[in-house]
Structure 1
């Protein structure tokens, strides 16, 4: 019979010991690792031609084999794989949030084009805020009760939003503007019910400056 020193010269096969069931009575915790006890080593030996002493000697453990370490079998040119008896794998999948406000794809496109025209060059937070003002107006009894109605509202002899008046709204929306609309539709932040926004550097309406300021984002002031 070949002695253990001769065996060690033969190419060792490697197997991964993983996912040993916590319910298995032959598993115990050693610091932060788990080990396969001698009962398991005996079963492995019977299956793969190794004695308990061979396993201890070859794998340098007195009481067992640590999980995720290599089990060497010098006489078998094959991998020794121990399957878990009851593996528990938990996978957390984050579900996409459903919008609090549901609108048609056509209306959503119009909405995104307005946001793009009004907040082009602004950070995404600013784009979300502009979209939030539109939705706050929909909720307000002082404005039309649909997104399209708010966007196309006429005040006096002109449209409420200048991009509708000058045709900028007809240009396609950027991906960021579309994402801003989607985020605003979840209604997580209502921006303290702001229903106005303006650029103080170019605004000519003195009345708008009398409104209570809620927040400033980029070049826009948001008010109620």
Structure 2
């Protein structure tokens, strides 16, 4: 009986991580960069370099990289892509990335909920949640923009807000420090 319990404990330890977001590996191909790999897997470049003890951005063909598990689930990526689609449809691609980045910056800020879904569903924050547009499918560009924002995570100017000046008269929002303007959106912190 003791041997069976020990064997079950051993198997539990061995298989505990299976399917739970364990890190993957990537073999570097010609043309790969940390940036491209970060976008491919939807992981921050900083985390990718850190987990691989990279002192610089040099990669060698055939080099094996550990891909850290994403802190954002696939369902959260889908939700974020749907928000990006609804908020930035018709905006330049960079604007789509910036909208996704705002959500991720909020997740990382102590001023907002600490999950993508918590930020998106926080009361009165995003119009597409209240008007149902969040429920429409995301385009390929919006999905790609989410992965690019994830790769960019932890860099940039820290935008926590965005608005279209032609659609809002909110003086509090307009009083925030502008970080960048892309298309019809103003991004601020």
TM-score, normalised to structure 2, is 0.65
Report which of the two has the higher share of helix. 2
TM-score for the superposition, normalised by structure 1: 0.55
In the alignment, is the contact (CA less than 8 A) between 1:138 and 1:146 conserved in 2?
Answer: yes
Instruction: Find 2:118's aligned residue among 142, 145, 149.
Output: 149
Cα distance between partner residues in 1 of 2:80 and 2:169: 25
Give every structure 1 segment of 4 or more consecutive aligned residues whose post-TM-superposition deviation is greater than 3 Å: 188-191
Change in Cα spacing, 1:218 to 1:211, as seen in structure 2 (3 Å) is: same
- Residue 187 of structure 2: aligned partner: 222
| 8 Å Cα contact 1:132-1:191 kept in structure 2 | no
Which consecutive unaligned segments of at least 5 residues does structure 2 have?
A: 1-28, 45-69
Q: Give matches, 1:10-25, under 5 Å.
A: none
Once residues 111 and 103 of structure 1 are traced to their aligned partners in structure 2, the CA distance between those partners, rounded to angstroms, is: 10
Residue-by-residue CA offset, 1:135-186 (whole Å, 9 max, x unaligned): 00001100000111000001xxxx2101001000000000000000000001
Equivalent-residue separation in structure 2 for 1:113 and 1:92 (angstroms): 33
Aligned with 2:94 (options 117, 125, 131): 125
Larger-gyration structure (1/2): 1
Deviations 1:102-156 (A, max 9, x none): 31111111110000000000011000000000000001100000111000001xx
Give the alignment partner of residue 212 of structure 1, picking from 177, 184, 188.
177
Higher relative contact order (CA 8 A, sep 6+): 2
Q: Which residue of 2 aligns with 1:111?
A: 80
* Mapped partners of 1:138, 1:111: distance in 2: 12
Gaps of 5+ in 1: 1-90
Count the aligned residue pairs: 130
